[in-house]
């Protein structure tokens, strides 16, 4: 089979997901437990960006942050309210050149809403023993992330 005829999986289109700590609410100069909209405004101001897409959940939100007036300049960020911290969700093959369609695609394929709400019931997927269907580097479990942040 030639490369031209090869079918690519959806995951191959963006690559592996990596989760990197960015900053806390106090790094933004705000008090812990500040209003989430004040936190979002401060975060966007630091990056001189806008929220092209926003998905809000009880324990935080996902945003596609982009440079105003420049297409395909977006990066995906997670605000975990229990941790009062922002995380950058980056992909091997497409870190900061995402658009709204890429964001929607990533939310669906990588189940990004599960990163916000740790209490969300996990769906069971059939996969080969010992191989997780969506390998993720960087540790996405919010409890593990909290321990890593506390160690810094």
Residue 23: inside a domain: yes
**pTM recorded for the entire structure:** 0.71
Residue 28: inside a domain: yes
User: For residue 24, is pLDDT > 60?
Assistant: yes
Average pLDDT over residues 4-25: 77
Task: Give residue 68's pLDDT.
Answer: 85
Task: Give residue 5's pLDDT.
Answer: 59
Residue 82: inside a domain: yes
Residue 109: inside a domain: yes
In total, how many domains does the chain have?
1
Residue 124: inside a domain: no
d(CA 148, CA 83): 11
Residue 73: inside a domain: yes
H-run or E-run covering 86 = strand 85-91
- CA-closest candidate to residue 103, choices 142, 56, 140, 54: 54
Expressed as residue numbers, the domain containing 69 is 17-118+133-151
């Amino acid at each position: 089979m030639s490369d031209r005829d090869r079918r690519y999986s959806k995951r191959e289109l963006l690559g592996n997901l990596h989760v990197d700590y960015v900053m806390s609410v106090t790094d933004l100069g705000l008090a812990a437990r500040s209003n989430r909209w004040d936190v979002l405004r401060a975060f966007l101001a630091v990056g001189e960006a806008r929220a092209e897409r926003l998905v809000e959940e009880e324990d935080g939100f996902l945003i596609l942050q982009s440079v105003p007036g420049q297409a395909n300049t977006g990066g995906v960020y997670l605000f975990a309210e229990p941790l009062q911290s922002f995380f950058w969700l980056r992909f091997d093959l497409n870190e900061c050149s995402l658009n709204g369609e890429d964001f929607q695609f990533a939310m669906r394929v990588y189940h990004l809403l599960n990163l916000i709400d740790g209490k969300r019931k996990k769906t069971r997927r059939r996969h080969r023993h010992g191989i997780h269907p969506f390998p993720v580097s960087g540790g996405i479990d919010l409890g593990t992330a909290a321990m890593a942040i506390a160690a810094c």
